[in-house]
Amino acid sequence: MSLANKLALERRGRLAAERLLELKQAELSAANRKLGRHAAALQGEIVETRAEVENVKTENERVKTELGQANQKVEIAERRLWHSVQTITDGFAFFNSDNRMIAANSSYLAIFDRLEIIQPGVHYVTILQVLTDEGIVHTGKLAAQDWREMMTERWMQPQPEPITIRLWNDQYVKLVDRRGQGGDIVSLGLNITESVEHEKQLKAARAEAEAASRAKSAFLANMSHEIRTPMNGVVGMAELLGDTGLSEEQQLYVDTIRNSGEALLVIINDVLDYSKIEAQKLQLHPEPFDLERCIHEVIMLLQPLARDKKLTLLVDFDLFLPTVYVGDPGRIRQVLTNLMGNAVKFTSEGHVLVRVTGVPDIEGGRADVNIAIEDTGIGIPEDKIDHIFGEFNQVENDRNRQFDGTGLGLAISQRLVGLMDGDIWVTSEDGVGSCFGFRIPLALSAAGLPEHPPVPEGLRRVLVVDDIEANRTILRRQLEQIGLGVVTCANGVEALQNLAGIDLVLSDHNMPEMDGLELADAMRTQGLQTPIILLSSNPSFAANDPGATHLHAILQKPVPRADLFARLQSVGPLITRQEPAAPETPAQAPRKMRVLAAEDNKTNQLVFRKMIKDADIDLKFAANGVEAVELFQSFAPDMIFMDISMPRMDGKEATGKIRAIEAETGEHVPIVALTAHAMDGDDQGILECGLDYYLTKPLRKSEIHGKLREFCPQDALPPLPDMEVEALQTG
């Protein structure tokens, strides 16, 4: 090869090497640039990470400090808690869910007397074992083994019941164990020795006190019996001695002996009763009794005292309330005597009113009876109201001091009313008067609803003369209830001007201006023969008055309804006797419409009576068909309301008999059937028997009023106010 070729080859090789070098240099600088960029990025990251590390370091430091502080606090709290637990005198321990002790305070451990085995980690069953083995606990009637079993079983309960154990040294520990959520158990051992001892002492003291109380009651009962026997002799003999014609001075001495004796008897009785109630020996003896009569009997006893003080005694017994109940009449009378006696005692002028109200539950055979005794006496200061029901408590002031008394009456009354499941209360205004009330639930007697005798023949209109309005109102309501017309006057003078058409005068005795006896005198002087019944708080005094000859009767005031009605019966013949003279009196007042209602059921009678209470009619009731036929003949009703189903003779048969009697006279009395049967076709059966109309029960007031208006005869007074007024009342 030529040199030139060689040179050219060399040159080409050199150029190729130069190109390669250039290429490599370019690659190298690109790689350098990339490396530079990467290094720069890394540098940034390093700075950032350093900052983060710095941050974490600070945070770490802070957390460390806080954790240290928290730890310190926890330690303090734990120390304090444990310190507290250690200082409490009751035992305190807790166990883990494997029933091993975690910790216990020194009180808990104390009973084990530093036995090494009893320390954290010990099993509960081992503790029980130690308790019995070492004789630390009295297991009572149970053998040690049984006691441990019983205690283990209890411990295993989800929530063990507290139990009291007795230790060897007669200390009593009540174990209260509570299971927590994780199964841990907190166990408390409360030392209750003191309360157990106290309870024992109390029991002993109570037994002692009861024995003493029984002895006291027995002593009081014996003593009061012993004292009462000779006292009866003293009082009885003093009374007999009083009737033997003594000088005035001797009479005074005898009266004093008797009054003091009686006062002493009252005190003895009070004390005896109270001790009986205290000893829970007092038993109630329920029996049927007439409450209204019972109240009047108490009034009779109080009447002499009331009369001396010129007080009026009034009774307002709810007309629609039954009077016969099943209860302990003796004890009810005792409460009434206490309350009414106080009312009379603490009242120097005015009146004492006994108001009896209540809601009978006829179906349930019971009634809640409220009895309130209102007086116009000295009253009771407000701050003493509760005090007076306490034993031997009285209002301590000058006014009260003038009155005798033991201060036991209200305490006894409150206990008695409580025994009868009732309650007692009082409202009072100092210087104005008091109202003592009590409520007792009573069973209705079989003879539950008040029964009144029929109004005597010929008796239609009664004149009531009394200066006290409450009395006039009560009498008016009682008389109107049995269908009589009533005119009231406040005094004798007024009465003399209102005698026209009056069949009977019912007059109070003592009245201002003209009293009842003077009124009787004046009537007879005027030639009026109208019968007069005098109501007096002192009948024997009235009977000795010359004017008493004009009287038909003298009744003790306030008069029980039953007595008043019975007395009205005796007036009947007097009125009939006068009747022949009647035609000579041209201006005779028109008579009332006569209505007969045959109804056997007392409640229905009551309902019927209530519905026609506004009607001015002469009403009689027959309790069965036989009576209805008899009354049809004797009473000559203008119309008859006839119940269909009745005992002895039913309404259909009675109507048949009445129609048969009428067949001879040619008369026809309208008969309205009252029937509970509202079935189709019933009306036909009823009408076929001779009844004219029928009304279905429950009765409606407007229908009954309608029939009264329809059948009122020309010569009778209109039975009801005009239609407009009626519409207002019923609508």
| Minimum distance from residue 611 beta carbon to ligand ADP (Å) | 40
Nearer to ligand ADP by C-beta: 379 or 458? 379
- 251 contacts ligand ADP (rule: CB under 6 A): no
Both structure tokens of 561: 């309804």
CA distance readout (Å), 54 to 48, 222, 226:
10, 104, 110
- Smallest gap from residue 403 Cβ to ligand ADP (A): 7
Q: Which of 139, 187, 406, 605 binds ligand ADP (CB under 6 A)?
A: 406
Is there binding between residue 380 and ligand ADP (CB under 6 A)?
yes
Nearer to ligand ADP, 271 or 517 (CB): 271
Q: Of the listed pieces 297-305, 408-416, 454-462, 474-482, which binds ligand ADP according to CB under 6 A?
A: 408-416
The answer to whether the beta carbons of residues 366 and 442 sit under 8 Å apart is yes
- Nearest distance from residue 302's CB to ligand ADP, in Å? 12
CB of 278 to ligand ADP, least distance (A): 15
Nearer to ligand ADP, 107 or 434 (CB): 434
377 interacts with ligand ADP by CB under 6 A: yes
Site for ligand ADP contains 378 (CB under 6 A): yes
- Tell me the CA distances in angstroms from 596 to 315, 601, 625, one per residue in order: 30, 15, 12
Q: Minimum Å distance from CB 381 to ligand ADP?
A: 9
**Looking at 189, 409, 492, 558, which residue binds ligand ADP (CB under 6 A)?**
409
The residue (of 412 and 671) whose beta carbon lies closer to ligand ADP is 412
Interface characters, 429-468, with ligand ADP (x: CB under 6 A): -----x----------------------------------
Task: Give the contact letters, 336-365, x = binds to ligand ADP (CB under 6 A), - = no.
Answer: --x---xx--x-------------------
Helices and strands, counts by H and E, the chain: 21, 23
CB-wise, 434 or 605, nearer to ligand ADP?
434
**And the tokens for 519?**
């009124």
Q: Across-strand partners of 370?
A: 357, 439
- Helix 248-278 to helix 193-242 angle, to the nearest 10 degrees? 160
Nearest to 93 by CA among 191, 192, 181, 176: 176
* DSSP string across 52-106: HHHHHHHHHHHHHHHHHHHHHHHHHHHHHHHHHHHHSSSEEEEE-TTSBEEEE-H
Whichever of 380 and 606 has its CB closer to ligand ADP, that residue is: 380
Q: What one-character DSSP code corresponds to residue 716?
A: B
Which one of 73-81, 109-117, 377-385, 642-650 is the stretch in contact with ligand ADP (CB under 6 A)? 377-385
With binding defined as CB under 6 A, does residue 94 bind ligand ADP? no
Distance from CA of residue 196 to its chain's centroid? 39
Q: 250-273 burial, b for 16+ CB within 10 Å, e for fewer? A: eeeebeebbeebeeebbbbbbbbb
Give, as one character, the DSSP assignment of residue 181.
T
**Nearest approach, Cβ of 422 to ligand ADP (angstroms)?**
17
> Is 571 an interacting residue with respect to ligand ADP (CB under 6 A)?
no
Q: Does 420 bind ligand ADP (CB under 6 A)?
A: no
Q: Which is nearer to ligand ADP, 334 or 481 (CB)?
A: 334
| 334 lies in the binding site for ligand ADP (CB under 6 A) | no
Closest distance to ligand ADP from the beta carbon of 431 (Å): 10
Q: Using alpha carbons, select from 281, 295, 371, 290 the residue that is nearest to residue 325.
A: 290
CB of residue 229 to ligand ADP, shortest distance in Å: 24
Q: Is 376 in the site for ligand ADP (CB under 6 A)?
A: no
Q: State the nearest-atom distance from the C-beta of 428 to ligand ADP, in Å.
A: 7
Closest distance between ligand ADP and the C-beta of residue 222, in Å?
23
Q: How far is the CB of 377 from ligand ADP (least distance, A)?
A: 5
Of residues 366 and 387, the one with the C-beta less far from ligand ADP: 387
How far apart are CB 225 and ligand ADP at their closest, in Å? Answer: 22
Q: Which of 6-14, 70-78, 249-257, 392-400 is the region at the interface with ligand ADP (rule: CB under 6 A)?
A: 392-400
Which single residue is written with the structure tokens 């009125």?
Answer: 575
Q: Computed over its alpha carbons, how large is the radius of gyration of the chain? A: 52
Q: How far is the CB of 387 from ligand ADP (least distance, A)?
A: 8
Residue 275 touches ligand ADP, criterion: CB under 6 A? no
Pairwise CA distance, residues 412 & 409, whole Å? 5
Burial of 339 (0-12, 13-18, 19+ CB in 10 A): buried
Cα–Cα distance for residue pair 162/189, rounded to 1 Å: 10
The total of other beta-carbon atoms located within 10 Å of residue 349's CB is 10
Nearer to ligand ADP, 150 or 264 (CB): 264
Q: How many residues contact ligand ADP, by CB under 6 A?
A: 21
Question: Could you give the CA distance from residue 197 to residue 166 in angstroms, rounded to a whole number?
Answer: 12
Interaction pattern, residues 294-333, with ligand ADP; x per rule: CB under 6 A: ----------------------------------------
Task: Compute the distance between CA of residue 590 and CA of residue 496 in angstroms, rounded to an integer.
Answer: 20
173-207 exposure pattern, b = at least 16 Cβ within 10 A, e = fewer: bbbebebeeeeebebbbbbbbeebeeeeeeeeeee
Judged by CB under 6 A, which stretch of 145-153, 302-310, 406-414, 459-467 contacts ligand ADP?
406-414
Distance CA 369, CA 364 (A): 14
C-alpha to C-alpha distance for 294 and 694, rounded to whole angstroms: 42
| Residue 52, C-beta contacts closer than 8 angstroms, at least 6 positions apart | none
Integer angstrom CA distances of residue 336 from 273, 301, 315, 561: 15, 11, 12, 19
Q: Which of 213, 400, 601, 604 binds ligand ADP (CB under 6 A)?
A: 400
Question: Taking a C-beta distance cutoff of 8 angstroms, is the pair 312, 468 a contact?
Answer: yes
Candidates 132, 187, 394, 536; binder of ligand ADP (CB under 6 A) is 394
Among 407, 437, 690, 718, interactor with ligand ADP by CB under 6 A: 407
The upper half-sphere exposure of residue 30, i.e. CA atoms within 13 Å in the direction of its Cβ, equals 6
For residues 343 and 502, which CB has a smaller minimum distance to ligand ADP in the complex? 343
| Cβ 310 to ligand ADP shortest distance, Å | 17
Q: Which is nearer to ligand ADP, 377 or 448 (CB)?
A: 377
At its nearest, how many Å lie between ligand ADP and the CB of residue 286? 25
Among residues 395, 484, 506, 708, the one that binds ligand ADP under rule CB under 6 A: 395
The token pair at 497 is 């001007």
Residue ranges in 29-68 that form contacts with ligand ADP under rule CB under 6 A: none
Output 353 or 514, the one with its CB closest to ligand ADP: 353
Please compute, for residue 611, the number of CA atoms within 13 A of its CA located in the half-sphere on the CB side. Answer: 19
End-to-end Cα spacing for the chain: 156
Which residues lie near ligand ADP (CB under 6 A)? 338, 342-343, 346, 375, 377-380, 388, 394-395, 400, 405-411, 434
